[in-house]
Amino acid sequence: MVIDLKKCIGCTGCALVCKAENATPPGILWLRVVKHETGKYPQVRRVSVPLQCMHCAEPPCMEVCPTGATFQHPNGIVDIDAELCVGCRYCMMACPYDQRFFLSAERTYFPGHTTPFEQAGYQRHQAGVVSKCNFCTPRLQRGLEPACVANCMSRARTFGDLDDSNSEVSKLIRDRAGYQLHPELGTNPSIYYLPP
Amino acid sequence: MRIEVSFYGFVRDLVTTPKLVIDTSDQTTVREVLDSVVKRHGERLRERLLSATGELAANVQVFVGEQPTTSLDQSIDHAHDHCAEVKVFVLSATAGG
Amino acid sequence: MQTENAQEDLWIPTTCGLCYSVCALKVHRVNGTVIKIEGNPESATNRGRLCPRGVSGIMLLYDPNRVNVPLKRTNPNKGLDVDPGWKEITWEEAIDTVAERLRKIRREDPRKLLMTGTVTTQDEVPFSRFFTMAFGTPNGWNSGAGNHCGTAEHLYGALLHASWAKQPDSDHCRYLLNFGSGVGSGSYYTVTGMAQRIAEARLRGMKHVAVDPFLSPSAEKADEWIPIRPGTDAAFALAMLNVLLHELNVYDAEYLKHHTNGPYLIGADGSYLRDETEKVPLIWDPVDAAAKPFHSPEIKDFALDGVYAVDGQRARPAFAVLKEHLAPFTAEWAEPITTIPAATIRRVAKEFAEEARIGSTVVIDGKALPYRPVAVMYFKGAQGHKNALLNCMALELLTEIVGASNVPGGLLGMNSCSVGEPETGQPAWIPKADRDGLMITGYWPSFPPPYPPKEVRATETIDLRGLIPTCPGSSGALPVVMADPKRFAVPYQIEMNLHLGSNYLMTFADPEAVARAFQNVFQVSFALFLDESTYLSDIVLPAASYLERLSHTADWMSSNAAVGEWCYHVRQPVVDPIAQRRSVCEVLLELVERLEMREEFYAFINLLLKLKEPHMLDPTRCYSWSEIVDRRYKSVFGEARGLEWFKKHGVLKWPKQAEEVYWKPSSSARVPIYFEWFKTLGEKVKAQADEIGIELDTSAFQPLPEWRPCRAHEENSPGYDFYAIYYKLPMQTFSGTYDNPWLDEVCQTNPFAYGVAINASAARQRGIEEGDWIEITSVATGHTVRGQAALTEGIHPEVIAIAGCGGHWSKYLPIANQDGKGLCFEWLIPVGLDNVDIPSLTQDTCVKVKVVKATDRGSKRSSRSSRLNDLNHLNDLNPG
Ligand code: SF4
Ligand code: SF4
Ligand code: SF4
């Protein structure tokens, strides 16, 4: 996935469309948008940076998972099998991007009340396990783009195959000098950012 | 002829009966009709309907039958059975930030 | 979302109702439950995309804090913090009570009825205005008159662009000079559509220069940020005009001659010289050395400069008068006012002048059109000041002088001109010229349009708009007049308020002062929530949200981008109204029957919805709401495209033609660069005000722009050394969305959403660190609000910036009313005519405040704070 920081306006629509698509419970945002400021007044730059699971080619989280709950799909997507997850949270410490989330207890957005939406959606999340962005694998299986890509209101996000040098994402990375976050860690993330 | 004048909108504080009937000669104009209505309801009605120069105020729309008119000098011909209908709408702002 | 074993699995097209951008939706309903709201990719308005609010609508639909049953007040005392003691009643009892009140008022004096709405409900509010009009009252107020509304900006929208709002030409603009508007960054009009278009323009290389006290979401995306002292944008603009006309000698003479009143001759008294017979304005033809009526076919050329003797009178073209007027406003003059170096002002003026490419053309749809790829944008920030009318005038003139108004690349009205859908030729509107040759809008969402000038009248309305007819929208004077109508010779007092979803206590100014104006009024609220303003209600009715109701129109004049396609939407319920909620329009139809005002109401519907035979309403029978909606669609879009068609297809769209988008070159209507009639109008206002016995400063009714200080600029009380400003974020709409837990969650990840942006050095000098609780006290109201400091280098050192309308206190909003959920900026702004721009009745929204670190410590912001400081790969992003 490529995220164009020149296009992104930091609206957080992606954070919430992820929530809507995946019915993540309170306190859990698989995608967050942070602000990063550099410079001194009046020469200042502030950039919005959306962060989510980087789907590293060399995922440190997978290495430390004692049960094999964290695994890689053949297409490179890093996923978690909730049935196998024992909630040890080693992966959360191992993830250098802070993109894994532990659901300690089942909660709803309105204390003491479960909305019909939550009734329908929260079956997918069990307490005591770790969860994170799965690149909307269920949507991909239906031939759709990830929700955050499909909804981005500045069209900052492009999804595609990094291994195909002719894909839109590969071209963007080449033409616009796309970069990964913390490449020195050797994790080789699948998310590339285009400079603002 | 018989002219039925109906008022709509921001005039109800002045015109308590929204519909009234006046009898005029067979050749009359919108101005004459409004004049006779003003006679009945008072000068404040004239101020509401007409501008200082005696034209229709910007927020007043008059229909003779189904036809809108912008000119007070429009004549009202006897339509059916020496009867005509004049509708006066006084509009007020509908939107705004 | 995956849907196993679904008996029902539907995608229903409808329209978002959470802001005035009205994005088209596809709502996914499975077994009766809404599980996802997506943007409808068929729509040209939002092209499949939604902002965070649009996505979060599910939580609004199912929020257990929504009002679900009719309620009546049991506590006779009213006040900001006084619990109304709600008691559940039946709909029948509620309607009986309301109908009885209305009947009594209508009998006594219908003007005693007020309707307060909000700008975000583009369907219910206009329809309800038909109701109040038929009822016989002229009184209405949209709470946006405070901190959200463009007020004076909309006036110039009408006078210069024939539209309510405007946008840069995102397809061709190359230089956007933006005085703080949120265009393309998640606020302003067509939020989601413009975000996409402006993002494309950025990649295309459009330079965006942001003049803004705060590095706002919009300024963040600019190529250059120029911090400015609040309320001084006009000084910057005047200095730019000075550089353009007196140093660079750059202006579009052809445009000024043929499309403005620049060549009209102005006499010594400041008025047009007029032709003896026709009484139309004269121009000077330098070829024949003669004055001629502006529309004479004999004109060989128009003089823009010079002094001429016409019938013994000394006369000059309006453009020459403007030019001379601008002479003192040099860049050096503006520097100490704006805090922007004169050299920067000169450079920006030069860039703007060069990029305007005066004289160049571009071929669009086979026609050569002027190509002026520069635009000046502004909205509430630059406009919401004591000097609103003349501030906006200065900003607008930049675009006009270089001829960049409604031509390719420039500033475009949205939407000035519509030739209609190809099959029906509807809806259609086109700007036209009045006798003086100046433009009247083809369509205006209110009535009547601001030009031609209206008469000055006694104060028949409760908001001074009769007296001050230049006010284009909601009036900042309403709470002042309502508190003491006798003083303004208003012969009645408001007794009842039909209150439609506007939390006016939190969106105008000092809530205490506003509450005083409303507390003796019988208030009937159609409400989603028991918000602060319903504390003053006597009856609260549970309203259906946009996901639960049908609308006669989901769209309005400015819901489509200026370029691209026309697009009209449907708004239909995606679920039946939950509990006892009801659609406002349906309830109003019932009240119409109860009040026996069907004949009048239908007459207004026929007139204002422009219903056509055979779809006009016949008062001898009673129509359901969906029948009325169907008739509206059929009247506009033809027999085949009624409600059923729209319900099924969701949107109807067709391409815009070049002459609709770039309509100015082919229009004979001129626009003013010299606002001749303002002066005489001001004199009339003064005379009328004197007659009433109210003191009114009418000195700002002027034909030419000027910068004047706000009260805040002249405030020197020790300790009050910050200006407080307000701005918008895409995560909340005004005050109405703060109880949404999803929006709350993302707001907590943004330090500015709930915090107070303050310059890091200025804060540290006062011992304030990131996340510290601070107290902000207004010199004007004496009120104090609390919030957490969000330190940034990206803000003018004299300024603190507060986003949105947080700081709720209603006990019925359990998510919004917690400490640290934003601040209510309105506590800082006083209510009073001293604080209002008289010609436009715009509320001044800048104020001096004292900022101190709070002595008691509140809780720190949540631990998953948004600022990751270790994003070292972004550290090389320094500007340069
Ligand atoms: S939705 Fe798009 S523009 Fe908005 S924050 Fe996410 S990536 Fe950025
Ligand atoms: S790819 Fe899907 S799961 Fe991952 S952040 Fe985007 S929306 Fe969420
Ligand atoms: S921009 Fe406005 S209309 Fe569009 S999704 Fe957001 S809240 Fe809804």
- Asked whether A31 lines ligand 2 (CB < 6 A), one says yes
What angle (nearest 5°) sits at the alpha carbon of residue C445, between those of residues C393 and C664?
A: 55
Quick one: C472 and C619 in the same domain?
yes
Query: For the ranges C151-155, C217-221, C700-704, which has the lowest average pLDDT?
Result: C151-155
For residue C741, the tally of other CB atoms under 10 A from its CB is: 17
| Chain C nearest C-alpha distance from B89 (Å) | 8
Determine, for residues A10 and C217 on separate chains, whether the beta-carbon distance falls below 8 Å.
yes
SS3 C37: strand
Which one of C627, C649, C671 terminates a domain?
Answer: C649
Say which residues have a Cβ less than 8 Å from residue C297's Cβ, sequence separation at least 6. Answer: none
CA distances from A24 to A30, A87, A132, A157, C748 (A): 8, 17, 9, 21, 16
| Chain C nearest C-alpha distance from A46 (Å) | 6
Q: Which of C445, C457, C460 comes nearest B94 by C-beta?
A: C445
pLDDT for C353 equals 98
Residue C859 DSSP one-character state: P
For residue C152, the tally of other CB atoms under 10 A from its CB is: 28
Q: Which of B48, B59, B94 comes nearest C129 by C-beta?
A: B94
pLDDT for C861 equals 39
Q: What is the mean pLDDT of residues C324-329?
A: 98
The Cα–Cα gap between C757 and B65 comes to: 62
Cα C356 versus chain centre, distance: 27
Quick one: C29 and C87 in the same domain?
no
Structure tokens at C365: 């749809």
Structure tokens at C836: 């209002």
The Cα–Cα gap between C16 and C52 comes to: 12
SS3 C207: strand
Nearest CA to ligand 2 atom 1: A135
- Rounded to the nearest 5°, which phi and psi values hold at C870? -105, 25
Interface present between B and A (3 or more CB pairs within 8 Å)? no
Torsion of CA A99, A103, A104, A106, to 10 degrees: 160
Q: Tens of pLDDT along C109-119?
A: 999 999 999 87
Q: Which of residues 53-92 of A touch C (CB under 8 A)?
A: none
pLDDT for C185 equals 94
Name the pTM for this structure: 0.95
Query: For the ranges A69-73, C343-347, C733-737, C763-767, which has the lowest average pLDDT?
Result: C733-737
Q: Which of C136, C474, C603 comes nearest B10 by C-beta?
A: C136
Q: How confident is the model at residue C5 (pLDDT cuts 50, 70, 90)?
A: low
The Cα–Cα gap between C243 and C286 comes to: 26
| Chain C nearest C-alpha distance from B36 (Å) | 22
DSSP string, C536-565: G-SEEEEB--TTS---S-S--TTSS-SSSE
Domain assignment present for residue C89? The answer is yes
Quick one: C754 and C843 in the same domain?
yes
CATH number at residue C534: 3.40.50.740
Strand partners, B3: B22, B84
pLDDT for C447 equals 83
pLDDT above 70: percentage of residues in chain C: 96
The Cα–Cα gap between C838 and C409 comes to: 34
CA of A52, closest atom in ligand 2: 5
Q: Tens of pLDDT along C493-547?
A: 999 999 998 999 999 999 999 999 999 999 999 999 999 999 999 999 999 999 9
Q: What is the mean pLDDT of residues C694-706?
A: 96
pLDDT for C807 equals 96
Q: Which CATH number fits domain B2-92: 3.40.640.10, 3.40.462.10, 3.10.20.30, 3.40.50.920?
A: 3.10.20.30
DSSP string, C168-201: E-TTT--EEEEES--TTTT-SSSHHHHHHHHHHH
Domain of C57, in residue numbers: 9-61
Q: Tens of pLDDT along B39-74?
A: 988 899 999 999 888 899 988 999 998 889 988 998
Q: What is the ipTM of this complex?
A: 0.98
Query: Where are the extended beta strands (E) located within chain A?
Result: 2-4, 32-40, 43-51, 70-72, 78-80, 101-102, 130-131, 157-158, 192-194
CA dihedral over C100, C104, C107, C113, signed as positive or negative: negative
Could you tell me which of A48, A6, A11, A57 has the C-alpha nearest to residue A172? A6
Chain C contact set for A40 (CB, 8 A) = 793
Q: Which CATH number fits domain A2-194: 3.30.70.20, 2.40.50.840, 1.10.3720.10, 3.40.190.10?
A: 3.30.70.20
pLDDT for C145 equals 64
Q: Which of A12, A110, A120 comes nearest C746 by C-beta?
A: A12
Quick one: C100 and C37 in the same domain?
no
Q: What is the mean pLDDT of residues A14-28?
A: 97
Contact between C265 and C273 under an 8 Å Cβ cutoff? The reply is yes
Q: How confident is the model at residue C875 (pLDDT cuts 50, 70, 90)?
A: very low
pLDDT for C545 equals 97
Quick one: C119 and C35 in the same domain?
no
Determine, for residues C55 and A13 on separate chains, whether the beta-carbon distance falls below 8 Å.
yes
Q: Is the pLDDT of residue C865 over 90?
A: no
Strand partners, B64: B67, B86
Q: How confident is the model at residue C714 (pLDDT cuts 50, 70, 90)?
A: very high
Contact between C96 and C607 under an 8 Å Cβ cutoff? The reply is no
Structure tokens at B61: 């729309």
Q: What is the mean pLDDT of residues C759-777?
A: 97
Burial of A63 (0-12, 13-18, 19+ CB in 10 A): exposed
User: Which of A9, A19, A30 is the pocket-test mutation for ligand 1 (most atoms within 8 Å of CB)?
Assistant: A9
| Chain A nearest C-alpha distance from C456 (Å) | 45
Quick one: C628 and C488 in the same domain?
yes
pLDDT for C144 equals 65
Could you tell me which of C96, C166, C181 has the C-alpha nearest to residue C560? C166
pLDDT for C192 equals 97
Quick one: C36 and C84 in the same domain?
no
CA distances from B32 to B22, B42, B74 (A): 11, 15, 10
Q: How confident is the model at residue B84 (pLDDT cuts 50, 70, 90)?
A: confident
Could you tell me which of A80, A84, A63 has the C-alpha nearest to residue A71? A80
Quick one: C491 and C620 in the same domain?
yes
Structure tokens at C146: 């405070």
A136 touches chain C (CB under 8 A): no
Q: Tens of pLDDT along C184-216?
A: 998 889 999 999 999 999 999 999 999 999 999
The Cα–Cα gap between C810 and C865 comes to: 27
Q: What is the mean pLDDT of residues C757-761?
A: 98
- Asked whether C664 lines ligand 3 (CB < 6 A), one says no
Cα A163 versus chain centre, distance: 20
Quick one: C617 and C483 in the same domain?
yes
CATH number at residue C788: 2.40.40.20
For residue A14, the tally of other CB atoms under 10 A from its CB is: 30
SS (H, E, C) C796-860: CCCEEEEECCCCCCCCCCCCCCCCCCCCCHHHHCCCCHHHEECCCCEECCCEEEEEEECCCCCCC
Q: What is the mean pLDDT of residues C558-577?
A: 96
CA distances from C688 to B18, C138, C235, C312, C692 (A): 30, 20, 31, 33, 6
Q: How confident is the model at residue C473 (pLDDT cuts 50, 70, 90)?
A: confident
The Cα–Cα gap between C49 and B44 comes to: 53
pLDDT for C872 equals 41
For residue C829, the tally of other CB atoms under 10 A from its CB is: 27
- Per the structure, the count of domains in chain C is 3
Contact between C57 and A19 under an 8 Å Cβ cutoff? The reply is no
**CA neighbours closer than 13 Å in the CB half-sphere of residue C154:** 28
Q: Is the pLDDT of residue C167 over 80?
A: yes
